[in-house]
Each structure stands twice: as structure tokens, then as C-alpha cells.
Amino acid sequence: MDVALDPRPLSTPTSEATMQHPQPHPKPLSTSVIGASLAGLFAAAAAANAGHQVTIIERDGIPTTPQARRGVPQSEQTHILLHRGLLSAEHLLPGLHDELIQRGAPEFKVGRMALLSADGWAPRGDYGYPLVCSSRTLLEHVIRKRVLALPNVRVLEQTRVQALHQDPSGAWTIQLQPTDHSSSPGGEHSLAADLVIDASGRSSRLPTWLKGLGLPPVPTTTIDARVGYATRRFTSPRPPGPGVLMLASARQSRGCIVSPVEDGYWQVTTVGRGEDRPSRDGEEFLEHLAKLPDPMALDMVKGMTPVSDVVVHRQTANVRHHYGKSRRWPAGLLVTGDALCALNPVYGSGITVAACQGLLLERSFMKAQGGRLNTRRLQRGLARTADLPWTMATSQDRQLLTTPQRARPVEAVVGWWGSEVARLAGQGNDRAADVMQAVTHLMSHPIALFTPPLLLASLRSRLRPRRSQAPEATPARGPRPFGGDAHAPLDLRDLEAPALAGEGRSALG
């Protein structure tokens, strides 16, 4: 079974062809998804779209309105859904984009946001991929509502997975325990399943469960640059519109984003690393903004009224579990989302990776119709989906470590050239800006960075340096509509390629 993803239908996600899902699986599998956050919801949608019977097991209660959950500690922080993620989510749940807009999420072209990198202010204009500015709580609420409305999906909330057991035939038994004994007085019970998908996030207990199955420990890679960020919600007399993004980098330890969200609110997030991480104190929050390299963000916030406390998040280490490589990997077990590969949220790719993995799951389930699902091979495919975003995040974070880690030669070359293309984009080179945006949003292979026109532009710019100026609007140059095909679609096999490792590549997520 070929598990590589070919998302060509995503070039027109609102078309009739994209709205139609393949025929259900002739032999529905009893599928249990552990975790009802976004990765679990995407996995549940994938299995349900393939005709399987899905049970979502969630440790916490399921809210009926957009609100933060204890199991999602970063839910009140600013999030960005990259364009590839938006297309993948739209395919799994047709109509998602339109509902977010109807629920008040602003949408604008990426090129309209004021962007400050280590190389100065980027030119502004009505170009680039559309960005839907929704809070994490609204995004998760809309997706959860759509998934739970599917006829072959049910949810067991306030239920914890205690252990996994597999009999010689490959069938699974999941040992469960209620977390709220007042509403579930029955105590421990069990659930049978043909397929188990762990999407329980960074706090996944899968290493413990695998040990209980008699399997050896799975290697884990961790890169922690000790990045932290703090967010506060505001109201403002100014109408919703493009905000400000100041990128943190090896040369500039602080960054921020000022972004509109639904219902006329604004979310302001400030980022720092090490001892420079922001605190939850309101005055210190403003002081952190005041120490940014440009006063624009602070000036915007001074005209706003805070309507929430400052919330902080410091669980930002890149953590990768190398599941699926051992020949003893259990049949019928899959891992997705942060439980497989947790990325520094500052780079904004976690939700997109989970959506792409959901799409890979759906297509793999479809291809397995009438045959056995090779879950070990599929697990390797899910891991490869995170290859490029992992390299993008860790290449940058390695530069922020107290003791920097040496990158592989190919990554070093790609990283250096990526920094150069980012510099060209900041100087107003349209070609560089388009390519950088396509790679950042996982809409193009990084090889697109290596073209003769960009090489010539680099040489010319070195001979004629340009001074950075405050951001001013430039003439519009071909905005891309939602789902446009300005760039060739990306096969997820391309996500195995070395990533762009240059400075000034971070977004908040």
C-alpha cells in the first residue's frame, strides 16, 4: 500500500470534486481514537469518511461552546493555520472555511500583514495566500461540532485510557477508567477495537502502554530552545484588519504578533527565549512589547482595552518519538499529531501537520479497501509527513540553544540560502516573496528556492544594498484566492526533504 499523499484535488477545495468523498470501506473497522483535540478530530474524520465506526476517547469534558480546555494548555494562545493545513482540513470537513468566516473570523492576504524580520520590514500588498484569523477555541469548536455530527462517530468523554491489550489475532482491548466518578459511577471498563489511533498530544502515555505490551522503549529526539510566549485578548476601536508580525530569530530574541480574531477581538502575543521569556504580569507584558525592535506593536496595544488575563505557555520543546521503525510495531496501532511529533508552536505548523496526517489516514484507509491495512508502513508515512516541518523548526531552534548543535551539511546549505531568499523577500523581490511564502505554507517544495533568477537577484542586492523602511503598502500583485493553484500542489513525499533553516522564518501557532 502506497502511503504517500498526493493532494492534487486540494488545488480546488471548494469544487464539487473535492466535496465528494470516496465510497465507504466495505469492511468497517471499529476504530478508537484517543484524544479529542485537533489531531484526534482530524483522525476521526478520516476514519469516518472511509466508512469506519469511530469512538473518540477524551479524558476531559467536551464543551458545547468555544472555550479553553484543560487538556489543551495552549488553547488561549495565538494560532496560525497554514494554507496547506486549511486545504487539508477543508477536504476532510467540507465547508469548514466558510463556517469560520461566517462565525466572524477575519480573512486577509498574508502580504497585507506588517512583517518585520531580522532583515527589516517587508513590503506590504494585497497578495499571497489567504489567512483565516480564528482563535484556537473557535477553530477547535467548529471542527469538533462537525466531526461529532458524523453518523458513525461517538465520543466517550471524561474517560481515561489505562492500558492497551492485544490478543494473538491482533484485536485490541482498551482498558478505560472514568475521570469523573460522579457522572460515571461504573468504574473501570473496557472497549474492543480493530484499530487504535493515539492522538493524545504531548502528554501521551503510549510509551507506558507499549512497555505493558512487552515492547522495548522507542527512541525520542528532543530539541528545546526554551522559548516561551504570553498572550492577552483585547478590544479595540480600530476595525479588524491585518495585524503586525515581528519575527524572533537568532539575532533578535523577542518577537510578537498582533492579530484580529472573531467577534472584533484582538489577540496579542509576545515571544522570548531563556530568561527573556514573558511572564503573566500585565505590566511586564507591556514592558516586553516595549523592548521589541520597533514600537509599532506597542503603539497598537496602547489604543486597546484588555479583556482577559495574560496567559503564558512554555511547553515548546520539539519532541519526536520514532514510532513504527521497529519490526515489532503492533499491527492496528497508529500515532498522530503531537503524540508522534510535537513542534515548537512558535513556527505555526502543528495544526497543519495534524490535518495533513488526517488526510493521509483517509486516503490510506480508502486504498486498503478489500485488503489488510499495513499500519506499520502507514505509521512511517505519518512520521514522514512531519519531516519537513520538524527540520524547519529544529534548524531554527538549534541556533537558539546555549550550546548550538551542528546541522547536517545539506541542511546548513539550505538554511543559509533560505536566509538569503528571506532577505530578498524583505527587500521587495516578488519572486522571492512568493517562493518563501509557498515553502512556509507547505505549498511548494524547498527546491523552488534554488533558481537562477534568485541567485542573480542575490548577487545584485549584495552590490546594491537596500535600507529597511517602515512598512508601507505596495501595489497589489495577483492575490491568490482560497484554494488557488498558483503553485503546484505538494506531494507529502516532498515533506521528507531538508527544510528551510534560515532566520526570520517563524510564525506564531
Q: Which three cell numbers stand for residue 450?
A: 534554488
Q: What mean pLDDT comes out for the span 238-247?
A: 86
> By the 8 A CB rule, do 319 and 342 touch?
yes
pLDDT in tens, 376-408: 999 999 999 998 888 888 888 887 776 666 666
Determine if the pTM surpasses 0.95: no
56 pLDDT higher than 70: yes
pLDDT in tens, 118-165: 878 888 888 889 999 999 999 999 999 999 999 999 999 999 999 999
- CA-CA distance, 380 to 323, in Å (whole number)? 8
What pLDDT score does 503 carry? 31
Q: What mean pLDDT comes out for the span 433-456?
A: 89
What pLDDT score does 253 carry? 84
pLDDT band at 427 (very low <50, low <70, confident <90, very high): confident
pLDDT band at 428 (very low <50, low <70, confident <90, very high): confident
Q: Which three cell numbers stand for residue 488?
A: 503546484
What pLDDT score does 371 carry? 65
> By the 8 A CB rule, do 210 and 329 touch?
no
* Nearby residues of 354 by Cβ (< 8 Å), 6 or more positions away: 38, 39, 42, 85, 199, 336, 337, 338
pLDDT in tens, 331-349: 999 999 999 999 999 888 9
- CA-CA distance, 443 to 206, in Å (whole number)? 32
What is the set of domains in the chain, with CATH numbers? 28-79+140-222+317-385 (3.50.50.60), 227-313 (3.30.70.2450), 404-496 (no CATH)
17 pLDDT higher than 60: no
Cell numbers 513504527: residue:
324
204 pLDDT higher than 90: yes
Distances (CA, A) of 111 to 124, 132, 134, 445: 5, 13, 18, 20
* Nearby residues of 489 by Cβ (< 8 Å), 6 or more positions away: 6, 7, 8, 10, 11, 443
